[in-house]
């Protein structure tokens, strides 16, 4: 980046950027045709599970529909939404606090803290739940070590803690990336005009973070909405449990599919809520040439901040690793055979990296259309991505199996389908950071490039995409680590003989073979350290902006 | 980095594409988990030279998958945890009958009367209890005793789990719909804590979260193998009811299979003495072939009181079982 940043502009764009010479009115409002062609292809992939679901709904029995209209459904729906709101609130609070502490203060060992703070991302939520259950209670690990009798961590507190720990890293990573791009000059101006640090944060920093926080909170909310493993182990009753119960308890799959419409409705509510609170959100500034200013902490603030980071890392990372290691050691000392699951490692890496590449490639046209050419259609496209993310994986998988077995037999049970489903389900994780980074790029740069005679495509390839690279990399790595821990869709859609670490952890734990489960889980965490290292706070040259 | 990933992916894709060109091969859909059965399948591959590709998933999932695939299923053999899943495939007429010789290896009460599937190992329904909190003499004679208010909040159940639903299906067949619903309502009234699966119940009993729970017998033995200190113990009901059933895991050959010789060899292998000993020693299940002893901590299978029930009928009451569980408010 060599562009001078001496003049700072924050604009809330009233409309679209000025048209370059020669472009037509229509192009200006709808965007170039090839973006739409690619987007339509993406829509087709997303449409497969959705239409397949719709077709199954037409076949559904009356009894299945009746289950929708019970008080039980309404009660659970309310409970699920309240639970989702609480988890999202705590995850956002933890994630944003961590991001600010690690991106903008003079706290020591920020790099190491950043990696540790982001790492809970890679631990599947059902593993976190299993570990919390095992560590708490009068016979748990914590009681064994400290001699303090802890209550059993189950029900609401357990589910809330497990999901907060599983989802705050999404908020943290996206917000941290945005914080690094906040222009210090604005804050300095506000400070110079006499505003207190708290006021500066509230009125200057926070509004600039709004798109990133919204994207992170949305991911956390939708993850919570569709989680089954952690809530069921914690025995906290939410909607996914009913869907799963209907699914596993019958050969007839239509009641489960009918019930998942309710979850889709809930997702739409959450997406709508995020959009409502965002306001005009589209906020960009010229790229700052200086790194953001560093806030000097007082000793008291330093102690509080360190305690907060330490407590979060202790619960989200140290405890799981300690419990898993304890299981592994206990098993090894009592002579239980443990194998290193090489086939599962290969399967996990292949599936997750292909999914990340496909998702990042797909996110670019969607985000460019949504941000640069905001029309009803481009907006709907972006929303569709989030709806896809919120669908319970088991529902998507059933729908895709039903579709491919009938209409796409050559790719039935193929790696291709698994990768496309991963990419479609987690596309929102790629579009979120991509959008946040694009929103911070001044559209005047595109205009300048096109004013100098570059085509749309060349401008995208030479200017827009390189400027977005930080967001794209972050998005790709998010998809990668999320796909690594995916379970229900993998179980149904994988090619025969294909296995992943998440599958092995689940199946070992399901049989109470904790030694082997612990070995596989520790491998999964180890495999994810490198991507998470890149994702957590890092110098700009790593990303090559 | 990205280029490297792409290269790796292409290699992996190519490897997947060429891996299924072996002459002697077999595709198995297995509802038994990889942990439990893969070592045995490895042994089969070594002994016979037949390459086995296994698809692991839940038994009910795979049964539904086979129904969707119909007569063009890639599967040659279906290996399932429970008679209900096998019965579903048998009812859809997608199995081919097994040979007399195969059927004669296992007592007929553990197999399909029409010979479409064969039991390979037994899983007894038991009460797991916390021996530090519960005296086994307090435990009831049948599951019906657990609806007594003295057991309020003390009996863990897994109402969405396949084994529990198979037990409810059996109870419907044995005691009738009304009695089964009354029992489920009694358990709900008693605020019985619900868990997602058997293994979670056994863990909860061992952790002291709940005093007792309804589960399959072998989970406790695996927990003891991982940690010999755990306080859980198995209790077998003394009277023959749905709660004392031994549910077989079993196997059937798909009618659409083009590899019947290999499939037959696989079924033969599973009921060999050596494989049956594997079930006894490694997965702690009951071997079903007479003469192969079970783990010596377990009561012999002949001594477990067993209700008179045609297991192939379980598939017919499975959906009703889920309806009743929902009606009782346990979902």
Q: Which chain A residue is nearest to residue B29, measuring alpha carbons?
A: A496
CB-based contact B226 A401, cutoff 8 Å: no
For the cut 90, the answer to whether the pLDDT of residue B204 exceeds it is yes
Q: How many CB atoms lie within 10 A of CB A34?
A: 12
**Mean pLDDT of all residues in A110-130:** 90
Q: Which of B33, B61, B318 sits opposite A492 (nearest CB)?
A: B61
Taking the CB of residue B14, how many other CB atoms lie within 10 A of it?
10
Across the interface, which of A72, A251, A409 has its CB nearest the CB of B64? Answer: A251
Show residues of chain B in contact with A323, CB under 8 Å.
none
Give me the pLDDT at residue B18, please.
44
Question: DSSP string covering A112-157, please?
Answer: HHHHHHHGGGGS-HHHHHHHHHHHSSTTSHHHHHH---PPP--HHH
Q: What is the largest CA-CA distance in chain B?
A: 67
Cα gap B257→A220, rounded to integer Å: 46
Query: With 80 as the cut, is the pLDDT of residue B8 above it?
Result: no
Q: Name, in order, each residue with C-beta under 8 angstroms of B311's C-beta and a sequence gap of 6 or more.
A: B83, B87, B109, B110, B111, B112, B247, B248
CB contact under 8 A, A512 and B226: yes
Cα B125 to Cα A150, A436, A503, B218, B270, distances in angstroms: 32, 54, 26, 9, 23
pLDDT at A540: 35
Is there a contact between B58 and A248 if contact means CB atoms under 8 Å apart? Answer: yes
Query: Which of A235, A242, A514 is nearest residue B193 as measured by Cβ atoms?
Result: A235
DSSP-assigned beta bridge partners for residue B30: B56, B79
Each residue's pLDDT tens digit, A470-497: 888 888 988 998 999 898 899 889 999 9
Instruction: With H, G, I as helix, E, B as strand and everything else as coil, classify residue A304.
Output: helix
Average pLDDT of chain A, as a whole number: 82
- Tokens 């827009």 correspond to A464
Residue B232: pLDDT over 80: yes
Nearest-CB residue to B68 (from A248, A327, A401): A401
Give residue A537's pLDDT band: very low, low, confident or very high (50, 70, 90): low
pLDDT of residue A213: 86
Which chain B residue has its CA at the smallest distance from A336's CA? B226
Q: Is B300 exposed, middle or buried (0-12, 13-18, 19+ CB in 10 A)?
A: exposed
What is the predicted pLDDT for the residue at A28?
52
Chain mean pLDDT for chain B: 90
**d(Cα A329, Cα A324) in Å, to the nearest integer?**
9
Place of tokens 């579709």: A403
**Candidate from A31-45, B101-115, B257-271 with smallest mean pLDDT:** A31-45
For B196, the closest chain A residue by CA position comes to A232
Pick the residue with more confidence: B124 or B33? Answer: B124
Instruction: Identify the pLDDT of residue B219.
Output: 95
Best of A229, A242, A245, A341 to disrupt the B interface by mutation (most B CBs within 10 Å)?
A245
Q: Which residue has the higher pLDDT, A423 or A428?
A: A423
Give the ranges where A410-513 is alpha helix by DSSP (H).
415-439, 443-451, 456-459, 465-467, 469-485, 488-493, 501-510
How distant is the Cα of B144 from the closest Cα of chain A, in angstroms? 22
- Tell me the chain A residues in contact with residue B319 when contact means C-beta distances shorter than 8 Å: 249-252
- pLDDT value of residue A203: 84
Q: What is the DSSP letter of B144?
A: G
Q: Quick one: pLDDT band at residue B9, thresholds 50, 70, 90?
A: low
Interface predicted TM-score of the whole assembly (ipTM), two decimals? 0.80
For the record, the structure tokens of B312 come out as: 């192939």
Backbone angles phi, psi at B27, to 5 degrees: -110, 125
Which residue has 């680590």 as its token pair?
Answer: A481
pLDDT at B173 over 90: yes
Could you tell me which residues come within 8 angstroms of residue A87 by beta carbon, excluding any fewer than 6 positions away?
Answer: A160, A163, A164, A167, A220, A221, A224
A504·B34 Cβ contact <8 A:
yes
What's the confidence (pLDDT) of residue A279?
54
Instruction: Say how far apart CA A115 and CA A346 lie, in whole Å.
Output: 24
- Model confidence over B54-100: pLDDT tens digits? 999 888 889 988 998 888 899 999 999 989 899 999 999 999 999 99
Per CB-CB distance under 8 Å, the chain A contacts of B202 are 512
Helix (H) or strand (E) holding B64: helix B59-69
> Would you state the structure tokens that stand for residue A57, as one six-digit string?
């709904």
CA-CA distance, B127 to A434, in Å (whole number)? 53
- A353·B57 Cβ contact <8 A: no
pLDDT at res. A278? 64
How close is the nearest chain A Cα to the Cα of B104, in Å? Answer: 30
Two tokens, residue A74 = 């309404």
Q: How far is A180 from chain B (nearest CA, A)?
A: 23
Who has greater pLDDT, B72 or A244?
A: B72
In degrees to the nearest 10, what's the CA dihedral of A352, A354, A356, A358? -150
């Amino acid at each position: 980046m060599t562009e001078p940043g001496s003049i700072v502009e924050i604009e809330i764009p009233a409309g679209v950027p000025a048209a370059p010479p020669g472009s037509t009115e229509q192009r200006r409002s709808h965007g170039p045709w090839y973006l739409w062609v690619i987007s339509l292809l993406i829509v087709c992939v997303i449409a497969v599970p959705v239409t397949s679901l719709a077709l199954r709904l037409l076949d559904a029995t009356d009894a299945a529909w009746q289950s929708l209209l019970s008080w039980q459904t309404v009660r659970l729906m309310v409970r699920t939404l309240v639970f989702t709101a609480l988890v999202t609130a705590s995850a956002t609070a933890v994630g944003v606090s961590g991001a600010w502490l690690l991106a903008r203060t003079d706290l020591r060992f920020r790099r190491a803290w950043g990696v540790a703070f982001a790492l809970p991302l890679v631990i599947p939520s059902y593993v976190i739940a299993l570990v919390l259950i095992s560590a708490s209670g009068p016979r748990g690990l914590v009681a064994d070590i400290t001699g303090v009798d802890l209550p059993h961590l189950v029900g609401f507190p357990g589910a809330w803690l497990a999901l907060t720990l599983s989802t705050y890293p999404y908020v943290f990573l996206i917000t941290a990336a945005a914080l690094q791009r906040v222009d210090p000059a604005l804050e300095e101006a506000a400070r110079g005009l006499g505003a207190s640090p708290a006021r500066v944060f509230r009125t200057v920093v926070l509004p600039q973070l709004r798109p990133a926080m919204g994207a992170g909170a949305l991911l956390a909310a939708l993850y919570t909405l569709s989680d089954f493993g952690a809530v069921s182990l914690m025995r906290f009753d939410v909607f996914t449990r009913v869907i799963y119960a209907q699914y596993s308890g019958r050969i007839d799959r239509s009641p489960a599919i009918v019930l998942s419409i309710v979850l889709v409705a809930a997702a739409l509510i959450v997406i709508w809520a995020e959009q409502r609170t965002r306001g005009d959100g589209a906020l960009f500034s010229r790229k700052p040439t200086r790194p953001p200013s560093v806030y000097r902490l007082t000793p008291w603030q330093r102690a509080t901040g360190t305690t907060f980071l330490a407590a979060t890392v202790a619960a989200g990372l140290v405890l799981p690793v300690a419990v898993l290691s304890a299981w592994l050691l206990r098993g090894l000392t009592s002579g239980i055979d443990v194998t290193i699951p090489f086939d599962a490692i290969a399967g996990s890496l292949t599936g997750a990296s292909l999914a990340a590449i496909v998702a990042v490639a797909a996110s670019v046209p969607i985000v460019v259309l949504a941000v640069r050419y905001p029309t009803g259609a481009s907006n709907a496209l972006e929303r569709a991505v989030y709806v896809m993310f919120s669908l319970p994986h088991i529902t998507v998988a059933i729908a895709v199996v039903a579709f491919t077995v009938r209409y796409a037999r050559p790719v039935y049970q193929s790696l291709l389908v698994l990768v496309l489903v991963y990419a479609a389900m987690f596309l929102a994780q790629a579009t979120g950071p991509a959008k946040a980074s694009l929103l911070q790029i001044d559209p005047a740069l595109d205009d300048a490039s096109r004013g100098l005679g570059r085509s749309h495509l060349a401008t995208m390839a030479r200017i827009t995409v390189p400027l977005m690279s930080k967001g794209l990399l972050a998005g790709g790595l998010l998809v990668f680590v999320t796909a690594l821990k995916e379970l229900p869709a993998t179980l149904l859609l994988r090619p025969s003989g294909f296995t992943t670490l998440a599958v092995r952890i689940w199946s070992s734990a399901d049989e109470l073979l904790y030694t082997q489960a612990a070995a596989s889980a520790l491998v999964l965490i180890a495999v994810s350290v490198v991507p998470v290292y890149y994702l957590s706070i890092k110098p700009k040259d790593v990303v090559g902006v | 980095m990205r280029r490297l990933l792409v290269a790796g992916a292409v290699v992996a894709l190519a490897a997947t594409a060429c891996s299924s060109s072996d002459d002697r091969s077999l595709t198995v859909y297995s509802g038994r988990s990889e942990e439990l059965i893969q070592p045995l399948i490895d042994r089969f591959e070594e002994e016979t030279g037949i390459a086995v590709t296994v698809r692991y998933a839940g038994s009910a999932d795979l049964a539904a998958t086979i129904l969707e695939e119909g007569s063009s299923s890639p599967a040659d053999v279906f290996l399932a945890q429970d008679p209900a899943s096998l019965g579903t495939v048998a009812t859809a007429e997608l199995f081919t009958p097994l040979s007399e010789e195969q059927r004669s290896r296992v007592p007929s009460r553990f197999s399909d009367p029409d010979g479409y599937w064969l039991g390979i190992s037994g899983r007894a329904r038991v009460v797991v209890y916390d021996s530090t909190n519960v005296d086994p003499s307090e435990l009831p004679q049948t599951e019906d005793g657990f609806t007594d208010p003295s057991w309020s909040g003390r009996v863990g159940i897994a109402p969405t789990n396949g084994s529990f639903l198979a037990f409810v299906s059996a109870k419907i067949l044995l005691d009738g719909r009304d009695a089964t619903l009354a029992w489920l309502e009694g358990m709900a009234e008693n605020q019985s804590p619900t868990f997602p699966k058997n293994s979670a119940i056994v863990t909860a009993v061992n952790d002291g979260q709940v005093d007792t729970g309804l589960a399959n017998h072998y989970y406790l033995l695996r927990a003891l193998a991982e940690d010999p200190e755990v306080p859980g113990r198995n209790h077998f009901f003394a009277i023959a009811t749905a709660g004392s059933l031994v549910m077989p895991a079993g196997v059937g050959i798909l009618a659409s299979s083009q590899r019947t010789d290999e499939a037959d060899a696989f079924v033969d292998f599973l009921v060999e003495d050596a494989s049956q000993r594997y079930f006894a020693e490694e997965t702690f299940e009951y071997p079903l072939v007479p003469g192969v002893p079970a783990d010596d901590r377990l009561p012999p299978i002949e001594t477990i009181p067993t209700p008179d029930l045609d297991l192939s009928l379980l598939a017919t009451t499975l959906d009703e079982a889920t309806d009743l569980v929902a009606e009782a408010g346990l979902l």
